[in-house]
Amino acid sequence: MRRRTPLLCLLALTACGGGTPDPALGPPDAAAFDRWVGAAPFAGFETPEDFRNRFGPPESRDAVPQANRHVEGQTDSILTLTFEGPVEVRFYAITGGRTLPMSVEVRDSGILDGPVDVGTAWTRVEAAFGPPDGERDGRPYYLRDGSGAEEPVLFSVSRGRVTAIRFTYYVD
């Protein structure tokens, strides 16, 4: 009986899926998600002008009246700006000019840096960030550690791939 060489055994194991694990799929780094959110190209943006300066003029603009919950009789608006990419930004626009960011949704790859972007396989998201913190409306989400107010980042996933990522911000 002939002895198999170690190389042949290794090749057979690899072909059958028994090879060495992908190092990118090792245990997730607990702080990876927070670093990724903090590195977003719009992290810290607070005004429509911040987004115009970064992404250029919006392709579309929509404002929908919204009753102010704290000031009776005051009507504010929800302002939605869509930028090429596409990136959609929603603001709570208070009568008198102040705006508060509500969400930023990224619907195309090449906008975000790091281990996760639109088009990333969902298995890679979980490998990078661990299991999601929950699910809303069928969308898995993660929360930043120690951010105070709950500001989930929601992922739209279709056929095992990320199709959109929505960063939400607390507005009261």
Which amino acid appears at position 19 of this protein? Answer: G
Q: What residues have CB less than 8 Å from 151, skipping those under 6 apart?
A: 143, 144, 167, 168, 169, 170
- What's this model's pTM, rounded to 2 decimal places? 0.80
What's the CA gap between 152 and 29, in Å, rounded? 19
Exposed, middle or buried, 90 (CB in 10 Å: 0-12/13-18/19+)? buried
18-to-6, 55, 88, 96 alpha-carbon distances in Å: 14, 45, 43, 63
Q: Is 14 helix (H, G, I), strand (E, B) or coil?
A: helix
Question: Tell me: the pLDDT tens digits for 34-75?
Answer: 999 999 999 999 999 999 999 999 999 999 999 988 889 899
Q: Across the chain, what does the average pLDDT equal?
A: 84
Instruction: Name the E strands within the chain.
Output: 60-67, 75-83, 87-93, 99-106, 134-136, 139-142, 153-158, 161-168
DSSP symbols for 63-90: EEEEE-SSSTT-EEEEEEEEETTTEEEE
Provide, rounded to the nearest whole percent, the portion of the chain with pLDDT above 70: 81
Distance of alpha carbon 162 from alpha carbon 42, whole angstroms? 19
- Residues 132-159, mean pLDDT to the nearest whole number: 89
Per-residue model confidence (pLDDT) at position 13: 36
Domain boundaries, the chain: 28-168
User: Which DSSP symbol is given to 41?
Assistant: T
pLDDT band (50, 70, 90) for residue 25: low
Residue 142 or residue 150, greater confidence: 142
Which pLDDT score is estimated for 21? 38
pLDDT of 6 above 60: no
Comparison of pLDDT for 169 and 16, the residue scoring more: 169
Longest dimension (CA), the chain: 91
